[in-house]
Structure 1
Amino acid sequence: MTITVPDTLSAMRDILRAPTADRAELLRSMLEPVRPMYRYAPGEVDPVDMHLRSAGFPLDRDEERCLDALETLAAADALGRMRRALDDGLAALTAAVPDLTVPDITVLFVLGDPADAVFMGPSLGVTGFGGIPGSIMITLWPFPENVARLEATAVHELHHNVRFGPGGVVWDPMTVAVGDHVVSEGLADAFARELYGDGLGRTRIGVPHLHDDAVFTKVVSGLDVTGMENFTSWVLGDTIAENVGGVPVGLPTGAGYSAGNRLADAYLAATGRTAAQAVRADSAKVVATALDHLGRPWSG
Structure 2
Amino acid sequence: MSITVLDNYSAMRRILLAPVADRADLLRSMLEPIRDMYRYNPGEVDLVAVHLETCGFPIDRDEERCLDALETLAAAGAWERMQRAVDNALAVLLEATPGLEVPDITVLLVLGDPGDKHFMGPCQGLTGFGGISGQIVITFWPFPENVERLEATAVHELNHNLRWGPGGVVWNPMTVTVGDHIVGEGLADAFARQLYGDELGPARIGVPHLHDDEVFAKVLTGLDVTGMQNFTAWVHGDPSAERFGLTPVGLPMGAGYAAGNRLVDTYLAATGQTAAQALHADASEIIATTLRHG
Q: TM-score, normalised by structure 1?
A: 0.97
Match of residue 69 from structure 1: 69
Residues in 2 aligned to 1:285 and 1:45: alpha-carbon distance in whole angstroms: 37
Counterpart secondary structure, 1:138: strand
Displacement after TM superposition at 1:42 (Å): 2.7
What SS does the aligned partner of 1:197 have? helix
The residue number in structure 2 matching 1:46 is 46
Aligned alpha-carbon RMSD (Å): 0.6
State the Cα distance separating 1:5 from its structure 2 match: 1.1
Give the deviation of 1:85 after TM superposition.
0.1
User: 1:298 corresponds to which residue?
Assistant: none
Match of 1:188 in 2: 188
Q: Which residue pairs with 1:274 in the alignment?
A: 274
User: 1:14-52: per-residue Cα shift (whole Å, max 9, x none)?
Assistant: 100111111111111111111111111233211100000
In structure 2, the partner of 1:214 is 214
| Cα distance in structure 2, aligned partners of 1:43 and 1:221 | 36
1:222-281 CA-to-partner distances (Å, cap 9, x unmatched) read: 000000000100000001111011110000000000000000100100111111011011
Residue of structure 1 in register with 2:157 after alignment: 157
Instruction: Provide the secondary structure at the position in 2 that maps to 1:287.
Output: helix
Equivalents in 2 of 1:55, 1:77: separation in Å? 23
Q: Which amino acid aligns with 1:186?
A: G
**Does residue 172 of the first structure (1) align with residue 172 of the second (2)?**
yes
Q: Which runs of no fewer than 5 residues in structure 1 stay unpaired?
A: 295-300
SS at match of 2:137: strand
Distance 1:112 1:293 in 2: 41
- Corresponding residue of 2:19: 19
Q: Distance in 1 between matches of 2:239 and 2:43?
A: 28
Alignment partners' CA distance in 2, 1:66 and 1:247: 33
Instruction: Give the aligned partner of residue 96 of structure 1.
Output: 96
Matched, 1:239 2:239: yes
Partner of 2:116 in structure 1? 116
- Distance, in Å, in 2 between the alignment partners of 1:194 and 1:229 is 31
TM-score, length of structure 2 as denominator length: 0.99
Residue matched to 2:142: 142
1:262 and 2:268 are equivalent in the alignment:
no
Residue range with higher mean Cα deviation, 34-43 or 213-222: 34-43
**Pair 1:107 & 2:107 matched:** yes
The percent identity for this pair of structures is: 72
Aligned position for 1:82:
82
Distance across 2 between alignment mates of 1:122 and 1:182: 18
Give 1:110 shift: 0.1
Structure 2: stretches of 5+ with no match in the other structure: none
SS of the equivalent of 2:208 reads: coil
Query: After the TM superposition, which segments of 4 or more aligned residues of structure 1 sit over 6 Å from their partners?
Result: none
What do residues 160-202 of structure 1 show as CA deviations (whole Å, max 9, x unaligned)?
A: 0000010100000000000010000000000000000000000
Equivalent residue number for residue 34 of structure 1: 34
Task: Give the length in aligned residue pairs.
Answer: 294
**Residue type of the alignment partner of 1:231:** F
